[in-house]
Structure 1
Amino acid sequence: MMRCNIEKIIKEKGFLKKYIAKEVGVTPSQLSYWIAMKNFPSADKLFKLARILNCKVDDLYEYEEEIN
């Protein structure tokens, strides 16, 4: 199961989602889709997002093992 940490990181860094979307070059709606995992950023947008948020790409999404 994947978990999205984008919104958490944006809040921790003190940014507004609207500002981050503009810096990445997407609409606020597109950023919301990434956060909701309705779709995912392309590799170049993922790296740009990580650079803007000063984190690693791996920090943006996490894979969690499902425990049965």
Structure 2
Amino acid sequence: MWKCNIEQLIIESGYRKDFICKKLDITYRQFRKYEKMELFIPMEKGLLLAELLNCKVDDLYERKVD
């Protein structure tokens, strides 16, 4: 199982989601798919998002161990 940390990281960053979408060159709908884990973020977008949020790429998602 995986947990998405993107929403929390954005809240902590103080950025607005529309700003993040513009920087990643994606639609808000596409962004929501990443947040809801309908899709994993592609590596190039993940690297850019991690840079924007001042975190590591592996901070975006967290593996839950049962």
Match in the other structure for 1:2: 2
- Provide the C-alpha distance between the structure 1 equivalents of 2:64 and 2:22, rounded to a whole number of angstroms: 30
- Provide the C-alpha distance between the structure 2 equivalents of 1:5 and 1:33, rounded to a whole number of angstroms: 13
How many residues get paired? 66
Structure 2-normalised TM-score?
0.94
4+ runs of 1 displaced by more than 4 Å? Answer: none
Match in the other structure for 2:57: 57
Q: Secondary structure at the match of 2:3?
A: strand
Unaligned regions of 5+ residues in structure 2, if any? none
Unaligned regions of 5+ residues in structure 1, if any? none
- Provide the C-alpha distance between the structure 1 equivalents of 2:64 and 2:40, rounded to a whole number of angstroms: 17
Larger radius of gyration: 1
- Provide the C-alpha distance between the structure 2 equivalents of 1:13 and 1:41, rounded to a whole number of angstroms: 19
Q: Secondary structure at the match of 1:39?
A: coil
How far residue 52 of structure 1 moved from its aligned partner, in angstroms, is 0.9
Q: After the TM superposition, which residues 1-68 of structure 1 pair with which residues of structure 2 at under 5 Å, given as runs?
A: 1-66=1-66
